[in-house]
Amino acid sequence: MAESTETPRYGGRALRNGVMMVGPKAIAVAVRRPDGEIETAVQAFSMPGAWARNIPMLRGLVSMAGMLRLSKTAAGLENRLNGGKRRWQSMLPQMAPGFGAALADRLTRELAKRASGRAVMPLETAAGIALPFVAFGISGNMPGVRELWRYHGAEHKAVNTAEAGLDLTPANAAEMSRVHPRCGTVMAFWGMVGGAVARAYVNSLPDGKRKMVTGALVGPVILGGAYEMVRLGAQLKDHPVGKTLFGPAWQTQRLTTAEPGDEELEVALAALQAVIDFEEAPA
């Protein structure tokens, strides 16, 4: 049987002082130590739920469950590189956008309460989508978060370099876009759009069991739908129609990434190279 020539898909996540990368068979974390050296840790890893990959909607929910396992494994590797120390300060960059999104949701509800008539739903919908990203942009100026955003940008540039078939060098990565169609920010965007639409529908139902049951089903439908939109956008990333339809969602990453320097690019490339070397090593 001929071997598949399909380019492996890589993904990752920005860390406080480094980057996590994951491929089909391995996960790696690279961090910049205080002395300036880059240290990496890598191990075998495969996302669970392969059985659901061809089942629309369900594959998104299974993927979200797999992300929990991925996060736990990445945290273990990061702790190993940090000497097993878990500092609460290191969580601030990751927590800041969450606090911002929570505040935005509260503001959205207040705006909806103050609005009246036909203006309620358009106002709530627009605010519910825009305010969390405004919070992301504002949080990017907080101490520590800006560095996280640069590592996020470096992670995207590294993956784009690999997917372009170029050598993993800082010079090549620097020329790449810091926008990637499979970013979690894009899924958050579609989740917020789906949430706004679903909230409008549920609120229009009469009170009672129907409204309660429908509301309970909304969450999984939103997650599954957001995943499908990200997947479709990634498939059409080079098509003019895809760029037109999905471009606005992709550009939200401008608020959750920042242009990285060579130091951040080197760390991201080290993590990605560790994954590739591990996967290509003889069994």
The pLDDT of residue 10 is above 90: yes
Minimal CA–CA distance to 231: which of 220, 240, 242?
242
**pLDDT at res. 123:** 56
Helix intervals (H) in the chain: 58-81, 92-114, 120-139, 145-163, 170-174, 184-204, 209-235, 240-251, 262-280
Q: How far is CA 258 from CA 132, 137, 178, 195, in A?
A: 17, 10, 8, 27
What residues form DSSP beta bridges with 14?
A: 19
**pLDDT at res. 194:** 86
User: pTM of whole model > 0.95?
Assistant: no
The pLDDT of residue 3 is above 50: no
Tokens of 243: 């760029």
**pLDDT at res. 128:** 61
